[in-house]
Amino acid sequence: MFSCLTRDASSAVPITPVTKAALPQWLEAHPDKREWLNVIGFKAEPNSFAFLPSSKGEPTRVLAGVAEGESIWAFAALPASLPEGVYSIDAELDDAHATAAALGWSLGSYAFTEYKAPKRAPAALVWPQHADQAEVDRITKGVFLARDLINTPTEDMGPDHLIDAGAAIAKDAGARVRILRGDELLEQNYPTIHAVGRASTRAPGLLDFTWGDDTAPKVTLVGKGVCFDTGGLNIKPREGMLQMKKDMGGAAVVLGLAQALMAAGTPVRLRVLIPAVENSIAGNAFRPLDIIRTRAGKTVEIGNTDAEGRLILCDALSEADSEKPELLIDCATLTGAARIALGPEVQAFFCDDDNVASKLHQAGATVGDPMWRLPIWRPYRKLIDGKCADLNNVAATPFAGSVIAALYLGEFVSAATAWVHVDLMAANVNSRPGRPEGGEATGLRALYRYIRDRFG
Ligand code: BES
Ligand code: ZN
Ligand code: ZN
Beta-ladder partners of 86: 124
Ligand 1 atom with the shortest distance to the CA of 334: 3
Ligand with an atom nearest the CA of residue 333: 1
The CATH number given to 5-129 is: 3.40.220.10
The ligand whose atoms approach the alpha carbon of 277 most closely is: 3
State if residue 232 touches ligand 1 by the CB under 6 angstroms criterion.
Answer: no
Mind listing the pLDDT tens digit for each residue in 227-263? 999 999 999 999 999 999 999 999 999 999 999 999 9
Q: How far is CA 412 from CA 17, 247, 317, 366, 386, in A?
A: 51, 21, 6, 31, 15
For the CA of 247, the closest atom of ligand 1 is 1
Task: Please report the atom of ligand 1 found closest to the CA of residue 336.
Answer: 21
* CB of 426 shorter than 6 A to ligand 1: no
Cα–ligand 2 centroid distance for 228 (angstroms) = 9
Q: Residue of the nearest CA to atom 3 in ligand 1?
A: 335
Residue 2 confidence (pLDDT): 64
The protein residue whose alpha carbon is closest to atom 16 in ligand 1 is: 307
Asked if residue 325 lies in contact with residue 220, where contact means CB atoms within 8 angstroms, the answer is: yes
Q: What backbone phi and psi angles, to 5 degrees, belong to 326? A: -70, -35
Question: Positive or negative, the Cα torsion across 394, 396, 400, 401?
Answer: positive
Residue-level pLDDT at 257: 99
308 close to ligand 1 (CB < 6 Angstrom)? yes
Q: State how far the alpha carbon of 362 is from the alpha carbons of 68, 249, 264, 338, 456, in Å.
A: 20, 23, 21, 20, 17
Q: What is the rounded distance in angstroms from the CA atom of residue 268 to the CA atom of residue 217?
A: 5
**Cβ pair 400, 390 in contact under 8 A:** no
Ligand (nearest to CA of 230): 2
Instruction: Please check whether the two domains, 5-129 and 137-455, share a CATH topology.
Output: no
* pTM of the predicted structure, to 2 decimals: 0.98
Q: Which atom of ligand 1 is nearest to the CA of 231?
A: 13
Q: Catalytic residue positions?
A: 236, 310
For ligand 1, whether the C-beta of 247 sits within 6 Å is: yes
Tell me the C-alpha distance between 199 and 279, whole Å: 7
Ligand 1: does its nearest atom lie under 6 Å from the Cβ of 401? yes
Q: Is the CB of 196 under 6 A from ligand 1?
A: no
C-alpha dihedral, 10 to 136 to 216 to 410, nearest 10°: -170
CB of 229 within 6 A of ligand 1: the answer is yes
Is there an atom of ligand 1 within 6 Å of 106 CB?
Answer: no
Please name which ligand lies nearest the alpha carbon of 348.
Answer: 1
For ligand 1, atom 22: residue with the closest CA: 336
- How remote is the CA of residue 305 from the centroid of ligand 1, in Å? 10
User: Tell me, what's the pLDDT at 55?
Assistant: 84
Q: How far is the CA of 28 from the centre of ligand 2 (A)?
A: 59
CB 331 within 8 A of CB 424: yes
335 alpha carbon – ligand 2 mean position (Å) = 8
Q: How far is CA 143 from CA 120, 252, 383, 401, in A?
A: 21, 9, 37, 28
Distance from Cα 151 to the centre of ligand 2, integer Å: 18
Residue 307 CA to ligand 2 center (angstroms) comes to 5
Ligand 1 atom at minimal distance to the Cα of residue 279: 11
Whole-number pLDDT of residue 388: 98
The C-alpha atoms of residue 17 and residue 90 are separated, in whole angstroms, by 8
Compute the distance from residue 445 Cα to the ligand 3 centre, in Å: 23
Provide the CATH number for the domain formed by 137-455 in this structure: 3.40.630.10
Residue ranges, the chain, pLDDT below 70 = 1-2
Angle ∠(219,215,353) on CA atoms, nearest 5: 35
| Mutation test residue for ligand 1: of 335, 383, 404, the one with most atoms within 8 Å of CB | 335
Q: For residues 43 and 60, give the distance between their C-alpha atoms in angstroms, rounded to a whole number.
A: 19
> Where do the structural domains in the chain lie, given as residue ranges?
5-129, 137-455
Cβ–ligand 1 distance for 336 under 6 Å, the answer yes
Neighbours of 8 (CB within 10 A): 10
